[in-house]
Amino acid sequence: MAAFALATTAHAASFNCSQAGSRVEATICADTRLSRLDEVLTQDYQYTMASDIGDGARKDLRSTQRAWVQSRNRCTDAECIRAAYAARIDQVCGNYPVLSGVSASCTSAEDALAGFGNSPTPAPSPYQALPQPQSAPSQPANRPNGAPIDVVVSRHAQQIASLGFSRAQLQSRIYLKEDLVNPYQKYVTLEQYLALMYELPNVTKVATINAGGRDGFSVKVLGQPSAGFLFRFEGGEAFLSDMVKGDEATHLETADDEFQAALIFMQIANAAIERARQP
């Protein structure tokens, strides 16, 4: 699984991005600003815990940190995560004065993001950048590069049609195993995801593949072997069944396999969305 790559970028955070355990962690790994905020909060927390703030304050800091992680994990988009980190960094640095000795060396959220420009989250997760199936038609969809995802689909309509998927397959809603506890979650349609693949940096070819009776696609990026996914289609729904690298397909046998594949699947979409948002 770890060797599978399609122009994705996993940025360093306080946890191992190759073992990201939830949709929120995957979003943090795919966004340099969120990753930086995660590193700063971890550092500030450790500095404060090591300072002489008193046993009561230390106990409170530990318990409120656990509660904060649970709250952060309820976020559904990158902006919510960013706001949660900014607020928590201010709390950790401002609510626990040192009783004696050297004060904790804290970095504020503002200072942490000083070199990143004005936009808070230039590479949002697909949940932020793509329309959600439960949204009413009258509600505006979040847009990559100022255009709804339907515009990206229209831009690549002829290329998608040439792949040979049936209309039913293209309209199938992809479901992903986003964590090891909760049920599968709705993502985007196959057509929408394929459109994003054509937005990847240095993509040279998107092709239809079939193995073991499963249909799917592969993507060739300059300087890398082709890689892709196979799906199990069931009544208007599509589930990841295999990951493909070169000529080799690896079946997703366990829930953990499906979860790891879902993280990679989302990180690839993040890379495409970031490219689509560029002028």
Q: pLDDT tens for residues 87-129?
A: 999 899 888 888 876 665 788 888 888 866 554 444 333 333 3
Q: Tokens for 220, please give them.
A: 């060739």
Spell out the residues 6+ positions from residue 259 whose beta carbon is closer than 8 angstroms to its own: 177, 178, 179, 180
pLDDT tens track for 152-185: 899 999 999 999 999 999 999 999 887 666 678 8
Does position 144 have pLDDT exceeding 70, yes or no? no
State the pLDDT at residue 103. Answer: 61
Which residue bears the tokens 């306080």? 14
Q: What is the mean pLDDT of the chain?
A: 79
- Cβ atoms 85, 112 nearer than 8 A: no
Looking at residue 213, the DSSP 8-state letter turns out to be: T
Q: 120-129, 195-204, 217-226, 261-270: lowest mean pLDDT where? A: 120-129
pLDDT-above-70 percentage for the chain: 76
Q: Tokens for 255, please give them.
A: 């829930």
Q: Tokens for 126, please give them.
A: 């697909």
196-223 burial, b at 16+ Cβ within 10 Å, e below that, comes to bbbbbeebeebeebeeeebbbbbbbbee
Does position 134 have pLDDT exceeding 70, yes or no? no
33 versus 117: the higher-pLDDT residue is 33
Of the candidates 194, 201, 198, 211, the one whose C-alpha atom is nearest the C-alpha of residue 252 is 211
Element (H, E) at 238: strand 237-245
> What residue segments make up the domains of the chain, in order of their start?
32-116, 126-276
Q: Which amino acid is at 170?
A: L
In terms of C-beta distances under 8 Å and separation of at least 24 residues, what long-range contacts does 158-167 make, across chains too? 159/198, 159/206, 160/191, 160/194, 160/195, 163/194, 163/206, 163/207, 163/208, 163/217, 164/208, 165/190, 165/191, 165/194, 165/208, 165/215
d(CA 215, CA 262): 17
